[in-house]
Structures are given as C-alpha cells and as structure tokens.
Amino acid sequence: MHMKWISVLLLLQLSGHFSPGTCGKVLVWPPEYSHWINMKTILDALVQRGHEVTVLTSSASILVDPNKPSAIQFEVFPTSLTKDDMVSFFMQLINKWTYDLPKETFWTHFSLMQEIFWEGADFVEKLCKDAVLNKKLLRKLQESRFDVVLADPSGPCGELLAELLKIPFVYSLRFSFGYTIEKYSGGLPFPPSYVPIVFSELSDHMTFMERVKNMIYNLYFDFWFQAFCENWDQLCSKALGRPTTLFELMRKAEIWFIRTYWDFEFPRPLLPHFQFVGGLHCKPAKPLPKEMEEFVQSSGENGIVVFSLGSMVTNMTEERANVIASALAQVPQKIIWRYDGKKPDTLGPNTRLYKWIPQNDLLDIRRIL
C-alpha cells in the first residue's frame, strides 16, 4: 500500500478527535529492531504532514535514539534495566533462534521457542510496569492530551497506555505466533481447515491428516498464549484499578496495519479494519557507492545475492562465519554480505563484506532487471 493511503487511514482515525484543518498528537509505544524500523516509516510520514509525534521510550532502548536530530519528539522514562541488559538478551535470543533451535519437528522447535518468547515478554513487561506505574510520567502524558496511540502488539503496553489515557489506538503488526493475537483480539477468523498456521510448513491444500495436525497446532498456540497472558492480565488490572485482561484491551484497536501484501498470504477471511501495508520501508532507490556499483555490474547474467541476517546480527563466531563464507563461495552470483566481524579465511572472490549495506537501493527492481 502506498504511504499516502497509510496516512489517510491513520488520519481518518484521528479526525474524530480534533477539529478539521488541525493536526493531531500521536503517542507511540515503540518496539525494537526491524519492528521499530517499519514503525518509524509511519511516524516520518505523519511528521511530514504536520502531526506531532511523541515516542515514549525507556532509558534502556537499543535503536530508539532520542539524541539523534529528528522532528519526532521523545519522552524517556527511567527503568532499572540497562541497555547492556537489552542487547545481551537480544543477542542470546537471536543465537538461539538461528543456531540452537532444533528443526527436526514442530514440537521440539516451538517448545524452545516458547521459552525464548517468554523471556522476551518478561523484558517488555518490566518496561511496561516502569512506564504505567510511574505516576509522574502518566500525569505528564495525560496533560499532553494525545489523540491516538500507535503500537505493535508483539510488545504489549500501548493498548494499556491508551486505556489509561482514554484515547483510541492503532496497531502495526506482521503476525503473531499461531495468529493468536489477531484471532482473539482482532476477531479475525483463521479456519484451520484451509488456513495453515505460520511456521507449520503446511499449505492451504492439506490432506485430512494435515488438517488434523493444523488444528492441533492451533490449540497448542492457544494454550501457549493463555499462559503468556496471565502476568499481563494482572498488570493491566493493577494499572487500571479494575479486573480486566490483555486481550480485552487489545480488542479495542481501531485499525490493524498488517506489514505484508494480501497476495503473499494464503487465502483467508479478512475484516475491514485490517489493512495490508507491505513495503512500508521501501523507498525510491538512490545510486550505489561507486565501488559497490562496479561490483554489482560485474556480476553479469548471474546477478547478485544480498545476504544479511537482519538488524540484530552483526557478528558471529569465526567458525560459523567460515562455514557461511565457504558456502557462499560456491555459488555463481556475486555476494554482498552485511557482516561486521573478522574476515573469514574461506571468503570467496565473489563475496564482499560490508558493515552496512543500502539494501533498499541494492534490491531496486530496475537494477535487478
């Protein structure tokens, strides 16, 4: 979806809360890493259209940098966590995800994945407590009279802040494990007879036994998230001073921005407040640095491979780096690898290492064609 339509959808939500012709005030509960990169695209578009955007971030945040010159405003709240705590946790998480998770069966893979997810949830819950139980901070936010909250439900708390401030909120999400949040909070149907659970490696053309398996996967994630929500239900009830649940608050989301395209997904029922916004972070390509452009053009008909392990992985052990470099050396394409460690001994002549790569510019369709 084009950025202007994303802005239109969000502004339609805002329009009921301030008079025509004026701009709105947006409060943001930010996620980390690639989730933040995607969300910031929306924030930049809102700022360009004259809206006031304030990001509520902790003193331990990794990528959200309030010291960078920006038209976006930041409200930093104190937390007992440190930035080193956060970085250490995420590095352990990505190492487990990439190297330690057994891939033999769905069950062995996701039983360990569940442990990792809950460890991450503990961090987010701690940050949320430090924000919503900070009376001075909450009073300041109430006095600021925000119009809407923008949040990512994979890191809860935005919906709780919106409830405390008595304002609506909007979600930005790729997917949740088992589509549990979308089902129980957004009311989005996922019939297990033909909608395969994410990561199940099933398609929408399933045999009877595959449908049974898909149903069991559904139940597994349902029980998983019931357990996950227990602590969050207690926090939400404590902060609001009344019994409530996390899912009850999540159900109040006005719009869900889904960060993919509908034609990349298996067919499934949709609701009008779920809007596909795939490619949020894509921008018109800029020219590549001269040396990189020459390397890309030297690939000829074989083309290039852009290899990156995402925003969280910049380094790895020498042994693993050598294994990867050895494998990349065997393909006919030229390889551009985002890597910030020691140069592997097995690096092939077809591979160049870069601490940072202009991925959007490298993957420009005109350059690929």
3-state helix, strand, coil in the chain (%, to 5): 45, 10, 40
CA-based nearest residue to 254, from 2, 15, 89: 15
Residue boundaries of the structural domains of the chain: 3-97+104-276, 290-368
Paired tokens of 8: 């239109």
Write out the H or E segment, with its range, that includes residue 351.
Answer: strand 351-354
Kindly state the tokens that stand for 77.
């709240």
Conformational region of residue 54, where left means phi above 0, alpha means psi within -120 to 50, and beta covers everything else: beta
**19 has pLDDT over 50:** no
Distance CA 339, CA 345 (A): 14
Model pLDDT for residues 114-155, shown as the tens digit of each residue: 666 666 678 888 999 999 999 999 999 999 999 999 999 988
Judged against a pLDDT cut of 60, whether residue 1 lies above it is answered with no
The percentage of residues in the chain with a pLDDT greater than 90, rounded to a whole number, is 37
**Is there a shared CATH topology between the 3-97+104-276 domain and the 290-368 domain?**
yes
Q: Give the pLDDT confidence score for residue 91 in this predicted structure.
A: 67
- The pTM of this model reads 0.78
Annotation: CATH topology of 290-368:
Rossmann fold (3.40.50)
CATH superfamily of 3-97+104-276: Glycogen Phosphorylase B; (3.40.50.2000)
Distances (CA, A) of 183 to 218, 222, 269: 11, 10, 11
pLDDT in tens, 231-265: 899 999 999 999 999 999 999 999 999 988 888 88
Query: What is the spatial distance between Cα 303 and Cα 307, in angstroms, rounded to a whole number?
Result: 13
Average pLDDT of span 204-219: 92
